Amino acid sequence: MRFLYSCILMFSIAAFSQNKMIELKIDSITFNDPDKNERDFTINYHIENLTNNPLSLILNTNYIKPNASSSMSYSPSYRLYQGDEIINAEHILNSKIAKEKFEQTIKDLNKRALTKDSPKINIYEQMAENKKKTSLDIVNSIIKLNPKEIKNFSTILSWNKIRNFRYFDNEYYLDEKATHYFDLFVNLFSEELKERTLPEDFKKIIEDKTIIKGWIASNKMEINFKE
């Protein structure tokens, strides 16, 4: 299974060339501890159009996902390092927005399940509705950059302060004495999103000649997992 994930990641990187028309840069990583069992990291970063032409990219900046499971994601992914070694695992850092959205979804489902007159869910209608929502999200994720324009973004990732964790057959320990680093990685898609978009939305994407493809990686920055 680990080999499969590695192959998917390598294919994702190999299928695209590095896009040098834009720059992805982390500006700062700050943290605070809301309680003894949680640390929140605020990641501030920007994307800059390095060209003299308008550019567009499909990127949902509401979330940042772990690199281990985001090869086909149109959201930024993070890579975490302990010293020079990359930690290839999920769920060390979790998006606070995604967590809150998931918790609200569970509450809504439980509320509907307790309602006697709630309609039965048609699986095909649900799949169609999910695709409609995804398609709309993809279209709404198109970021337009004027020549030399910089757009700033910020997101919060949460760590539950657990240091021992396992991912498939890999075991990791976040050593509080070690130095840790964090960077961002982005895959830029267009026609690869065909199966996830409605025909009319996909038409808008492929007809927009400003949309660029490729991959971009940010600078590395230290992130504090010390007590």
pLDDT tens for each residue of 18-70: 888 999 999 999 999 999 999 999 999 999 999 999 999 999 999 898 887 66
Q: Which domain holds residue 120?
A: 2-223
Confidence category of residue 171, pLDDT binned at 50, 70, 90:
confident
List the structure tokens of 21.
């028309």
* Neighbouring-strand partners of residue 211: 56
% of the chain at pLDDT higher than 90: 63
CA torsion sign, 162 to 68 to 25 to 53? negative
Is the pLDDT at 158 greater than 90, yes or no? yes
Identify the DSSP state of 177: T
Please name which of 126, 128, 122, 123 lies closest in space to residue 198, comparing C-alpha atoms: 128
Q: Report pLDDT for 103.
A: 61
**55-58/38-49 β-pairing:** unpaired
Question: Which of 66-75, 122-131, 159-168, 172-181 has the least mean pLDDT?
Answer: 66-75
**CB under 8 Å to 63, separation ≥6 — which residues?**
75, 76, 95, 97, 98, 155
Residue ranges of the alpha helices (H) in the chain? 2-14, 96-113, 123-140, 199-207
Confidence category of residue 117, pLDDT binned at 50, 70, 90:
low
Identify the DSSP state of 149: -
Confidence category of residue 121, pLDDT binned at 50, 70, 90:
low
Q: Report pLDDT for 26.
A: 98
**What SS3 state is found at 195?**
helix
Residue 213 φ then ψ, to 5°? -125, 175
Q: Report pLDDT for 200.
A: 97
Mean pLDDT of the chain: 86
List the structure tokens of 209.
């000649």
Q: How many domains does the chain have?
A: 1
Please report, for residues 106, 120, 141, 161, 192, the alpha-carbon distance to residue 112 in angstroms, rounded to integers and kept in the order given: 10, 10, 30, 34, 35
Helices 123-140 and 199-207, axial angle in degrees (round to 10): 20
Q: Report pLDDT for 126.
A: 84
% of the chain at pLDDT higher than 70: 81
Q: Report pLDDT for 104.
A: 60
Please report, for residues 5, 92, 132, 167, the alpha-carbon distance to residue 1 in angstroms, rounded to integers and kept in the order given: 6, 19, 31, 10
